Each structure stands twice: as C-alpha cells, then as structure tokens.
Amino acid sequence: MAITSTSPGDRYRVSDHFDLAVIGAGSAGLSVTYAAARLGLRVAIIERGRMGGECLNAGCVPSKALLAAAHRSEGFTAARQRIAAAIATIAPVDSAERYRSLGAEVIQGTARFTGRQSFDVNGKAITARRIVIATGSRPKIPGFCQNIPHFTNETIWDVAELPRHLVILGGGPMAFEMADAFNALGSIVTMVGGDQLLPREDPELAAPLIAALQAGGVTFITQRAIAARPGPVLVLADGSEITGSHLLIATGRQVDAGTLNLEAAGVQQGPNGILTDSGLRCIGNKAVFAAGDVAAPQGIGPQRFTHIAGLHASIIIKRALFRLPASLPKMPPVRVVYTKPELAQVGFTQGQAGPGSKSLTWPFAENDRAIADGETTGLVKLVLDSHNRLIGAGITGPGAGEMIGLYALMLAQKTKLSALASLVLPYPTRAEAGKRAVGAHFATKIFAAGPSRLVKLLSRLP
C-alpha cells in the first residue's frame, strides 16, 4: 500500500516494505533517494524538518548569499532578501514534490529504529532491505552558553536588524565567514577563537586571511572563553570580559542521531558519529549505511562538507544498489573558507605530511594578473612527499575555491608535477601561480652545473 499523505498529523498508509529507506533529506539522503527512484526501486525518504537539510536552509546557501551581499556592499536588508531568494530558487530541486514525482515516498516525521531492518515513523512501521542514515549534524553548544541567549548558524538568519556588536565564539571556517560578512555589512565583530585560529588549516595559508580580516576591522582574541552570562558577556581564561549585542556560537558540530534508537538496529555510534567501514556500511549491521555529517568512517573520521556528503552518496549507490566495491579515499578532502580572500586546500598540509615533505610556493605579489587587479594578498602552496610527488595543495587569495579544482584533479589522477609545468595556461591568470612554483622547482635542476655542461657539449655537435 502506498503512502497517500505525508503532512504532519495526517493519516497515511505506509508500504509494507521498501527496497531502500533513507532517513534524512539533506544532501546525502536526497542523492541516494534520487538514484534509487530513477532506477525504479521502491524507496522512502523520511525527514523531520525541512527538505534540503542544513546546507540549503542554514549552511552553504544562506552563508554564501550573505557573503555575496556583504562583499557587494548591498546592506543588511538586501542581504536578507538575497538569502531568501537564493533558498527559494534552489528549494524546488530538493522539494518533496520533486521526489514524489520521481516515484519516491516522502514521509515527514521522526524515525526510530525498532529492529535491524525496521523503524517507526509517526506510529507506523516501516521495513526495508537497505537503510541509509543521513540525519546530518547540529551545532555544538558549550555548556556555559546553553542558558544564555545566543545564535548559531541555524538561527542567525532570523536576526531582523544588523547586530551592533557581534561576538563570535569559535575560530573555524564558519566563524571566519560570519566574521567577514557581518564586518563588511557594518557590525563591530569580535572573534574569540581559542588557542589557535583556523587550527585545521596550513598556518602559512591562514596567516594572510587572518591579517586581511584584522586589517578590515575584525578583532581576534586567541584565548578560551570559560564562562558566559546574559548581555551577552563572555568571560575569558585570563579573567577579562567581552560584551557584545549578539553572541554567535560557531564551535563546531555534533551528530544528530539521538532519537534514532540505534541500539535496536545494532548500529554502533562513537563520540564523533556513527561508525562505518571505509565503504560507509555501519559497524554492527550490514543492512544499514551512514552518509554525510552523521558518518564517522573508521580510519578516516567525520568529514562534514556538503561535497563529501555527495561522495558518500555515490559510494552507497555503488555498494547498496549495484553491489560494486567502493570506498572513501584516505587523503583529506578539498575544502574552502569562503572569506575575502578565500582559503582553499586539498590533500595533506605540510604539517600533516610529516618528515621528508617539502613545499613549493608562489606569492600572488609576483603574479601578473594579481598585480594588474591590485589584489596581491595570498599565495599558492604545493606540498610534495620525499619522492617529489604532489600530496597536497593550498591557495589563499581571490577565487581560491575556483582554482583548487585543478589540484584536486591532479591528486585524484596521481598526475605528475611535470604535467603542470608543461600545461599551457592563459595569460594573465592567477592559475599561473601554481605553474610558476613548479617551474621554479624544475629550473633548479635544469640549470644545475651538470646539465649546463651537457647542453654546452650538445651545442657543439653539428
């Protein structure tokens, strides 16, 4: 029997059994559901909140719309309108109506496992041959902030007026993007970032970004906050206090799986998410997969990016639907901090690469396009292993997120550095910076004393 209604509180009938059931309608869940529906499988997708998940409604889309408005000096009212318009334009692609039209059952409600291949939604029993958990993550709130008014990336969009003084607790990408945006819109911004700002990024790449925001007016405090009280007021480790008009908490995210009753399914959860193998099959139950922010693959750990949720979906489609082998790469994924300037990285940083590694760099101050544009902040940095193989790349500067794709492809295809050195790129472009770094690396070998003598000898031949 098919579902005849999916609205909360309505009476509906649920199919006795599905080929695939997906819990969570964010990026990962929607991608798996789309593939299964197009293949003609009986698939259900369950969502307790809004279709599209965190990325569409409270993450990637609104934050990038806010940054775009801020960098164009459009003003706060126009920024809010831009955010609403962006979400409204993209939402139909993720809508329940679209997925119903593909043949999927869309159920609004909260899922709770009752067995290894069964769960309950709104009092109705559902069983499936394969189940995908894609319930995402939610903001992590420090205990000392839970009882005072605050905002997160999920609620900051509800602010009706531009904050006079925004205090941001956290020092990661989301904290930096919100600091950049609200500072550009006219707020006083103070970031309490803990012991290190952008701790997961290469310090050499992070430094120009931090300096640029600081020069633009953002105040950085590299201390831990240890207490808070209404105001909002943050108490720092040295006893000093920071008072603002609004408090934004951006201290990371935690898995959103508390209502699933995973024990009933035999699915194991660790401190950072649902434990899976490298192919995203859950530890303890081979019929269940986990994807997106909720997944913590063993040996890799959680990688909470929308594009990684898409990668997870593709692996699950191969494994669960086609029974093909597939697994996650162990190399750190491509990632971007969408500030001005941007910071983009893929693969290992030099700190992660360890002994024997080295780096090639080229500053945009020596790039003709950057000089012509008058925007010379930043650099390209390539990380090599002890055998001179590319194992990581990073860029700080305008358009870094668009340029990093070249290096992501090189890493995925194990492309040699010589291929980049011989690549013909348009002039003048910022993309030339990486080629120049590699060219300088090879030049030290080409123009060494030994090869120079060989060239002299060859030049004497008829």
pLDDT attached to residue 273 = 97
pLDDT attached to residue 461 = 80
Q: Is residue 60 part of a domain?
A: no
Does one domain contain both 215 and 359?
A: no
Does one domain contain both 245 and 287?
A: no
- The pair of three-digit structure tokens given for residue 213, joined into one six-digit string: 């925001």
pLDDT attached to residue 9 = 37
pLDDT attached to residue 462 = 75
Does one domain contain both 429 and 393?
A: yes
pLDDT attached to residue 447 = 73
Domain harbouring 242, CATH code: 3.50.50.60
Q: Is residue 457 part of a domain?
A: no
pLDDT attached to residue 451 = 64
Does one domain contain both 239 and 148?
A: yes
- pLDDT < 50 regions, the chain: 1-12, 14
- Measured CA to CA, the distance from residue 30 to residue 53 in angstroms comes to 9
- Measured CA to CA, the distance from residue 16 to residue 150 in angstroms comes to 44
Q: In what order do the strands lie in the sheet with 390-397?
A: 335-337, 342-347, 390-397, 379-384, 358-363
Residue-number span of the structural domain to which 395 is assigned: 341-446
Final residue belonging to a domain, choices 289, 321, 353: 321
Does one domain contain both 309 and 181?
A: no
pLDDT attached to residue 450 = 65
Does one domain contain both 22 and 128?
A: yes
Does one domain contain both 293 and 211?
A: no
Q: Is residue 330 part of a domain?
A: no
Q: Is residue 187 part of a domain?
A: yes
Q: Is residue 12 part of a domain?
A: no
Does one domain contain both 34 and 128?
A: yes
The domain tally of the chain equals 3
pLDDT attached to residue 239 = 94
pLDDT in tens, 332-358: 999 999 999 999 999 999 999 988 999
pLDDT attached to residue 457 = 75
- Measured CA to CA, the distance from residue 289 to residue 129 in angstroms comes to 11
pLDDT attached to residue 267 = 98
Q: What is the pTM of this model?
A: 0.92
Does one domain contain both 210 and 300?
A: no
Does one domain contain both 39 and 109?
A: yes
Domain harbouring 411, CATH code: 3.30.390.30
Does one domain contain both 133 and 274?
A: yes
pLDDT in tens, 382-427: 999 999 999 999 999 999 999 999 999 999 999 999 999 999 999 9
